């Protein structure tokens, strides 16, 4: 059975990043998340500017910079339903996509898949977990029609 998704998408950064909002429509975000779900979930995805991203990262991770994606997972045990917030920082995602020579849409898809896996308890703190998570991400990304996000783009 296909997992059910209750999804809220918030885009307060829309005035500053209208081209991003066109790429990450609610239906597109839902498709990417559904491809990443192993259980029913209730998730909020919020697209923010650098100021809000930095504030959240500093407040909750004690790191004084904006990062690409933050995941706040609320399930306290494996028996609890999947619930969480994914926070994506638009300028960081755009900068990374440019630096990695990747389409912005592909980078957003990867970070949403990555964040969704975190919301379900996946992690990459130790090497074996990182390899497993990267493998799952690669499979999901390829099922969505994107290339392996961990293979650097090369000039042919």
Render 69-82 in DSSP notation, one character per residue: EEEEE--SSTTSPE
Average pLDDT over all residues of the chain:
93
Q: How many residues does the chain have?
A: 156
Instruction: Tell me: pLDDT of 125 over 90.
Output: no
Q: Residues of the chain with pLDDT > 90: what percent?
A: 78
CATH entry, 5-143, from 3.40.390.30, 2.60.120.260, 3.40.1190.10, 3.30.360.10:
3.40.390.30
The pTM is what? Answer: 0.93
Question: CB count, 10 Å around CB of 70?
Answer: 21
């Amino acid at each position: 059975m296909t997992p059910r998704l209750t999804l809220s998408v918030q885009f307060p950064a829309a005035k500053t990043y209208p081209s991003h909002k066109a790429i990450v429509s609610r239906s597109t975000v839902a498709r990417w998340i559904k491809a990443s779900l192993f259980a029913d979930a209730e998730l909020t995805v919020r697209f923010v500017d650098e100021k809000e991203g930095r504030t959240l990262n500093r407040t909750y991770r004690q790191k004084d910079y904006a990062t690409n994606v933050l995941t706040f997972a609320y399930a306290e045990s494996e028996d609890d339903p999947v619930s969480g917030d994914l926070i994506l920082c638009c300028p960081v995602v755009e900068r990374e996509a440019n630096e990695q020579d990747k389409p912005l849409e592909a980078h957003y898809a990867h970070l949403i898949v990555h964040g969704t896996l975190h919301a379900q308890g996946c992690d990459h703190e130790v090497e074996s977990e990182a390899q497993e998570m990267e493998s799952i991400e690669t499979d999901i990304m390829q099922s969505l029609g994107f290339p392996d996000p961990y293979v650097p783009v090369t000039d042919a």
